[in-house]
């Protein structure tokens, strides 16, 4: 009896324990189900947002390249406002572009036939020639998937620009080493009717906006692209005598080029990018007209120094600390190896 009683007491304890375990398991299962239910729409929403942003950015890049458009742009920076005339035409599959100031002395940039020409005040012209596809990487497009480490890409709503409805896509930098963008993309044509250069806090540093724009589809064939896009170009290592230490986080070397000067000297050009922002380091044998310290024009910053008979200058539309860190990390190989 005592035994049975003992047995029954033990059984009832087991039953209680088993019951408690079952309740606990069910509670956990229900809690996790509720939690996962709560997360599912959020995650799906994020995916949808990223997908929509990527689609809009791809459409924008295509529209910028392949449509014919002409209009007046205003450029707002540091409480100043400048007006410019922009024309973009596709003629026989070749892009012809022209940007000219509408106030003050004539400043203009013309881009066509793999050549960029600039007329600057005080009349010193600049002509940069792209010799075939080998020298320069293709620069089209923005790939949101390649930016996730350094930027957050998301929809920021809608706005009306130049009398047209636009969707707003933000590419927001995750740190202070780079700038981002806020594009107001025309719903009809996908052209960026307003482009803001923004900092980490999404505050605009510069703004470009169409006040009027006429768009039409080109009659001839669309421009073709070939070559390695810079947005997906593999990172490379510096060959030759230069090494780059303490490269700003997220930036990689993707291009090395040599610019022959009229006097015969050669300027080495190294380009670093995080797949959106970029800076270039130029290394010149000619020590004349060197830059010691820092300079800027709008959001473009430059930092320079000399090193054992060479002049080093870093230039880019990136914060000052980025170009300063970049130029500070340049070493001559034998000197770097001995360190």
Partner 1 sequence: MMTDEHRQRLSQLLDGELGSRSALRVLDAVNGDGELRGTWERYGLIGQAIRAEGIDPGCRGIADQVWARLEQEPIPLPVSRGSARKRPGARKLAALAMAASAAFVAFLAAPTLLQDSGSIPREGDMAPRFVERESIPISRLQLEQPGLASKLDLYLVTHQATAPATGAKGMLPYATLVGYESGR
Contacts to partner 1 from residues 294-333, by CB under 8 A: 294-300, 302, 313, 315-317, 320
What is d(CA 330, CA 335) in angstroms, rounded to the nearest whole number?
A: 10
What is d(CA 96, CA 137) in angstroms, rounded to the nearest whole number?
A: 19
What is d(CA 195, CA 102) in angstroms, rounded to the nearest whole number?
A: 19
> Does 178 help bind partner 1 (rule: CB under 8 A)?
no
Task: Tell me how far, at minimum, the Cβ of 59 lies from partner 1, in Å.
Answer: 11
Query: Whose Cβ is closer to partner 1: residue 54's or residue 336's?
Result: 54
> Does 195 help bind partner 1 (rule: CB under 8 A)?
yes
Query: Measured between alpha carbons, how far is residue 97 from residues 87, 128, 329 in Å?
Result: 6, 14, 37
> Does 264 help bind partner 1 (rule: CB under 8 A)?
no
> Does 50 help bind partner 1 (rule: CB under 8 A)?
no
What is d(CA 1, CA 170) in angstroms, rounded to the nearest whole number?
A: 79
> Does 215 help bind partner 1 (rule: CB under 8 A)?
no
Considering only the stretches 19-27, 40-48, 102-110, 211-219, report the one whose residues sit in contact with partner 1 under the rule CB under 8 A.
102-110
Task: Tell me how far, at minimum, the Cβ of 225 lies from partner 1, in Å.
Answer: 8
> Does 270 help bind partner 1 (rule: CB under 8 A)?
no
Contact call for residues 147 and 250 (beta carbons, < 8 A): no
Binder among 128, 176, 245, 266 for partner 1 (CB under 8 A): 128
Query: Whose Cβ is closer to partner 1: residue 37's or residue 234's?
Result: 234
Annotate 68-88 with DSSP letters as a single string: EEEEEEEEEETTEEEEEEEEE
163 token code pair: 């009398």
Total residues at the site for partner 1 (CB under 8 A)?
112
The DSSP output letter for 263 is: T
Binder among 56, 90, 142, 193 for partner 1 (CB under 8 A): 142
Binder among 271, 312, 326, 327 for partner 1 (CB under 8 A): 271
36 token code pair: 């996962």
What is d(CA 92, CA 224) in angstroms, rounded to the nearest whole number?
A: 10
> Does 163 help bind partner 1 (rule: CB under 8 A)?
no
The residues in 55-74 that bind partner 1, with binding defined as CB under 8 A, are: 57, 60-61, 64-65, 73
The residues in 218-257 that bind partner 1, with binding defined as CB under 8 A, are: 229-231, 255, 257
Three-state SS at 261: coil
The residues in 8-47 that bind partner 1, with binding defined as CB under 8 A, are: none
Contact call for residues 175 and 191 (beta carbons, < 8 A): no
Tokens 């044509």 belong to 189
Considering only the stretches 41-49, 117-125, 212-220, 329-337, report the one whose residues sit in contact with partner 1 under the rule CB under 8 A.
117-125
Binder among 8, 27, 130, 217 for partner 1 (CB under 8 A): 130
Annotate 175-239 with DSSP letters as a single string: STTS-EEEEEEETTT--EEEEEEE-TT--EEEEEEEEEEEEE--SSPPPP--S-BGGGPPP----
């Amino acid at each position: 009896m005592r035994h049975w009683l003992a047995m029954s007491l033990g059984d009832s304890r087991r039953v209680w324990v088993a019951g408690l375990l079952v309740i606990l398991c069910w509670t956990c299962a229900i809690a996790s189900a509720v939690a996962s239910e709560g997360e599912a729409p959020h995650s799906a929403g994020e995916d949808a947002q990223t997908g929509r942003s990527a689609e809009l950015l791809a459409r924008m890049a295509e529209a910028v390249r392949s449509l014919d458009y002409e209009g007046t742009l205003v450029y707002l920076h540091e409480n100043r406002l400048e007006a410019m005339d922009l024309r973009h035409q596709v003629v026989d599959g070749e892009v012809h572009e022209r940007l000219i100031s509408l106030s003050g002395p004539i400043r203009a940039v013309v881009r066509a036939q793999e050549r960029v020409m600039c007329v600057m005040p005080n009349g010193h012209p600049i002509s940069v020639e792209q010799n075939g596809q080998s020298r320069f990487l293709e620069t089209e497009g923005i790939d949101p998937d390649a930016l996730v480490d350094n930027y957050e890409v998301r929809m920021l709503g809608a706005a009306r620009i130049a009398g047209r409805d636009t969707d707003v896509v933000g590419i927001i930098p995750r740190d202070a080493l780079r700038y981002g963008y806020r594009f107001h993309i025309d719903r009809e044509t996908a052209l960026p009717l307003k482009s803001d250069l923004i900092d980490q806090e999404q505050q605009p540093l510069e703004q470009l906006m169409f006040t009027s724009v006429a768009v039409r589809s080109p009659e001839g064939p669309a421009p073709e692209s070939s070559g390695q896009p810079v947005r997906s170009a593999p990172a490379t290592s510096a060959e030759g005598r230069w090494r780059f230490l303490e490269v700003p986080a997220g930036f990689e070397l993707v291009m090395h080029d040599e610019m022959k000067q009229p006097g015969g000297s050669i300027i080495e050009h190294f380009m670093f990018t995080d797949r959106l922002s970029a800076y270039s380091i130029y290394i010149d044998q000619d020590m004349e007209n060197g830059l010691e310290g820092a300079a800027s024009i709008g959001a473009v910053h430059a930092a320079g120094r000399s090193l054992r008979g060479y002049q080093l200058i870093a230039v880019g539309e990136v914060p000052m600390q980025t170009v300063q860190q970049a130029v500070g990390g340049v070493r001559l190989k034998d000197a770097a190896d001995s360190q």
